[in-house]
Protein backbone atom coordinates (compact mmCIF):
# COMPACT_ATOMS: atom_id res chain seq x y z
CA UNK A 1 0.00 0.00 0.00
CA UNK A 2 1.42 3.42 -0.90
CA UNK A 3 2.06 5.97 1.83
CA UNK A 4 -0.98 8.14 2.53
CA UNK A 5 -0.96 10.95 5.06
CA UNK A 6 -1.99 14.51 5.82
CA UNK A 7 0.23 17.56 6.09
CA UNK A 8 -0.30 21.28 6.51
CA UNK A 9 -0.31 23.27 3.31
CA UNK A 10 2.38 25.83 2.58
CA UNK A 11 2.13 28.92 0.41
CA UNK A 12 4.00 27.17 -2.39
CA UNK A 13 1.13 24.62 -2.52
CA UNK A 14 -1.41 27.30 -3.53
CA UNK A 15 -1.35 26.51 -7.27
CA UNK A 16 -1.96 22.79 -6.64
CA UNK A 17 -4.78 23.61 -4.19
CA UNK A 18 -6.36 25.88 -6.81
CA UNK A 19 -6.15 23.04 -9.35
CA UNK A 20 -7.94 20.70 -6.96
CA UNK A 21 -10.64 23.32 -6.27
CA UNK A 22 -11.10 23.98 -10.01
CA UNK A 23 -11.45 20.25 -10.63
CA UNK A 24 -14.09 20.02 -7.91
CA UNK A 25 -15.93 23.02 -9.38
CA UNK A 26 -15.99 21.33 -12.79
CA UNK A 27 -17.31 18.09 -11.29
CA UNK A 28 -20.06 20.02 -9.47
CA UNK A 29 -20.95 21.86 -12.69
CA UNK A 30 -21.19 18.58 -14.62
CA UNK A 31 -23.54 17.28 -11.90
CA UNK A 32 -25.54 20.55 -12.16
CA UNK A 33 -24.91 21.39 -8.52
CA UNK A 34 -24.79 25.17 -8.02
CA UNK A 35 -22.30 24.93 -5.13
CA UNK A 36 -18.97 26.70 -5.89
CA UNK A 37 -20.17 27.90 -9.29
CA UNK A 38 -19.41 31.56 -8.58
CA UNK A 39 -16.25 33.22 -7.34
CA UNK A 40 -16.02 31.11 -4.18
CA UNK A 41 -13.61 29.93 -3.02
CA UNK A 42 -11.28 32.63 -4.27
CA UNK A 43 -7.51 32.44 -4.33
CA UNK A 44 -7.39 34.92 -1.44
CA UNK A 45 -9.65 32.64 0.68
CA UNK A 46 -7.26 29.75 0.07
CA UNK A 47 -4.18 31.84 0.80
CA UNK A 48 -5.68 33.20 4.02
CA UNK A 49 -6.43 29.64 5.19
CA UNK A 50 -2.87 28.57 4.41
CA UNK A 51 -1.37 31.53 6.26
CA UNK A 52 -3.55 30.75 9.31
CA UNK A 53 -2.34 27.12 9.23
CA UNK A 54 -5.83 25.75 8.62
CA UNK A 55 -5.37 24.06 5.22
CA UNK A 56 -4.38 20.42 5.05
CA UNK A 57 -3.25 18.35 2.09
CA UNK A 58 -3.83 14.66 1.54
CA UNK A 59 -0.68 13.06 0.19
CA UNK A 60 -0.77 9.76 -1.68
CA UNK A 61 2.45 8.23 -2.94
CA UNK A 62 4.25 11.61 -2.61
CA UNK A 63 1.55 13.43 -4.65
CA UNK A 64 -0.99 16.01 -3.43
CA UNK A 65 -4.39 14.43 -4.10
CA UNK A 66 -6.72 16.30 -1.76
CA UNK A 67 -7.24 19.41 0.29
CA UNK A 68 -9.50 20.64 3.06
CA UNK A 69 -9.66 23.48 5.53
CA UNK A 70 -10.17 22.79 9.23
CA UNK A 71 -11.49 25.97 10.81
CA UNK A 72 -10.99 26.28 14.54
CA UNK A 73 -13.20 29.32 15.08
CA UNK A 74 -17.01 29.37 14.97
CA UNK A 75 -18.54 29.64 11.51
CA UNK A 76 -20.84 32.70 11.40
CA UNK A 77 -23.12 30.87 8.95
CA UNK A 78 -23.86 28.30 11.66
CA UNK A 79 -25.30 30.76 14.20
CA UNK A 80 -28.88 30.29 12.99
CA UNK A 81 -30.07 26.84 12.01
CA UNK A 82 -33.38 25.98 10.33
CA UNK A 83 -35.36 22.74 10.17
CA UNK A 84 -33.32 21.31 13.01
CA UNK A 85 -31.05 22.17 15.89
CA UNK A 86 -27.46 21.81 16.96
CA UNK A 87 -27.36 18.93 19.43
CA UNK A 88 -25.88 18.97 22.89
CA UNK A 89 -23.05 21.38 22.50
CA UNK A 90 -22.21 24.89 23.46
CA UNK A 91 -18.52 24.11 23.36
CA UNK A 92 -16.02 25.08 20.71
CA UNK A 93 -16.13 23.08 17.50
CA UNK A 94 -13.96 22.64 14.41
CA UNK A 95 -15.45 22.95 10.93
CA UNK A 96 -14.40 21.21 7.74
CA UNK A 97 -14.64 23.38 4.62
CA UNK A 98 -13.29 23.58 1.08
CA UNK A 99 -12.89 19.84 0.53
CA UNK A 100 -11.54 18.76 -2.85
CA UNK A 101 -10.08 15.44 -4.03
CA UNK A 102 -8.33 14.87 -7.34
CA UNK A 103 -10.63 13.33 -9.94
CA UNK A 104 -7.70 11.25 -11.18
CA UNK A 105 -7.94 9.14 -8.03
CA UNK A 106 -11.68 8.47 -8.21
CA UNK A 107 -12.81 5.26 -6.56
CA UNK A 108 -9.91 5.02 -4.11
CA UNK A 109 -11.98 6.25 -1.14
CA UNK A 110 -9.57 9.10 -0.50
CA UNK A 111 -12.36 11.13 1.09
CA UNK A 112 -12.42 8.53 3.87
CA UNK A 113 -8.69 9.02 4.51
CA UNK A 114 -9.02 12.79 4.39
CA UNK A 115 -11.90 12.86 6.88
CA UNK A 116 -10.26 10.34 9.21
CA UNK A 117 -7.08 12.38 9.32
CA UNK A 118 -8.97 15.65 9.83
CA UNK A 119 -10.82 14.08 12.76
CA UNK A 120 -7.46 13.12 14.30
CA UNK A 121 -6.17 16.66 13.83
CA UNK A 122 -9.33 18.08 15.45
CA UNK A 123 -9.02 15.79 18.47
CA UNK A 124 -5.33 16.63 18.83
CA UNK A 125 -6.28 20.31 18.81
CA UNK A 126 -8.70 19.64 21.68
CA UNK A 127 -12.04 19.59 19.81
CA UNK A 128 -14.77 17.11 20.65
CA UNK A 129 -17.16 18.31 17.94
CA UNK A 130 -16.79 18.79 14.19
CA UNK A 131 -19.31 20.43 11.86
CA UNK A 132 -19.55 20.46 8.09
CA UNK A 133 -22.04 21.58 5.46
CA UNK A 134 -22.76 20.84 1.83
CA UNK A 135 -25.32 21.70 -0.81
CA UNK A 136 -28.56 19.69 -0.73
CA UNK A 137 -27.83 18.36 -4.22
CA UNK A 138 -24.24 17.34 -3.48
CA UNK A 139 -25.01 13.68 -2.89
CA UNK A 140 -21.36 12.62 -3.35
CA UNK A 141 -20.24 14.77 -0.41
CA UNK A 142 -23.29 13.80 1.64
CA UNK A 143 -22.34 10.14 1.14
CA UNK A 144 -18.81 10.74 2.45
CA UNK A 145 -20.09 12.82 5.38
CA UNK A 146 -22.72 10.28 6.41
CA UNK A 147 -20.38 7.32 5.91
CA UNK A 148 -18.04 9.01 8.38
CA UNK A 149 -20.91 8.98 10.92
CA UNK A 150 -21.77 12.67 10.89
CA UNK A 151 -25.49 13.21 11.44
CA UNK A 152 -27.65 15.85 9.78
CA UNK A 153 -28.55 18.69 12.14
CA UNK A 154 -30.58 21.00 9.87
CA UNK A 155 -30.20 23.72 7.25
CA UNK A 156 -28.16 26.93 7.29
CA UNK A 157 -28.19 29.88 4.93
CA UNK A 158 -24.85 30.99 3.55
CA UNK A 159 -24.30 34.69 4.30
CA UNK A 160 -27.97 34.88 5.50
CA UNK A 161 -29.22 34.22 1.94
CA UNK A 162 -32.25 31.87 2.08
CA UNK A 163 -31.62 31.00 -1.58
CA UNK A 164 -28.18 29.60 -0.69
CA UNK A 165 -28.96 26.74 1.68
CA UNK A 166 -26.69 24.01 2.98
CA UNK A 167 -27.35 20.83 4.92
CA UNK A 168 -25.27 20.95 8.12
CA UNK A 169 -23.88 17.98 9.97
CA UNK A 170 -22.31 17.31 13.36
CA UNK A 171 -20.00 14.68 14.70
CA UNK A 172 -19.03 14.24 18.34
CA UNK A 173 -15.65 12.69 18.99
CA UNK A 174 -14.95 10.65 22.08
CA UNK A 175 -11.65 11.80 23.51
CA UNK A 176 -11.54 9.58 26.59
CA UNK A 177 -11.64 6.19 24.90
| Interval 63-74: pLDDT, tens | 999 999 999 999
pTM of the entire predicted model: 0.92
All residues at 6 or more sequence positions from 49 whose CB lies less than 8 Å from its CB, including other chains? 9, 55, 69, 98
- Note whether residue 36 is domain-resident: yes
Structural domains of the chain, count: 1
Mean pLDDT score, 122-129: 94
Could you give the 3-state DSSP secondary structure of residue 42?
coil
Strand order in the sheet with 161-172: 4-8, 55-60, 63-71, 94-101, 129-134, 161-172, 151-158
Mean pLDDT score, 72-91: 89
* Distances from the Cα of 142 to the Cα of 30, 125, 172, 173, angstroms: 17, 25, 17, 19
- Note whether residue 44 is domain-resident: yes
Residue 54 domain boundaries:
4-172
- Note whether residue 32 is domain-resident: yes
- Note whether residue 177 is domain-resident: no
- Per-residue confidence (pLDDT) for residue 177, from 0 to 100: 62
- Note whether residue 78 is domain-resident: yes
Entry field: residues in the chain: 177
CATH number, domain at 102?
A: 3.40.630.30
Amino acid sequence: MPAIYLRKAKQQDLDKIEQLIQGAKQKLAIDRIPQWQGNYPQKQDLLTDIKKGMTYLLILDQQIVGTATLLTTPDPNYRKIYQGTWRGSNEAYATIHRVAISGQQAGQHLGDFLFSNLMSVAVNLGFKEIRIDTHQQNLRMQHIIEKTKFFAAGIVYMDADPNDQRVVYQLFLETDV
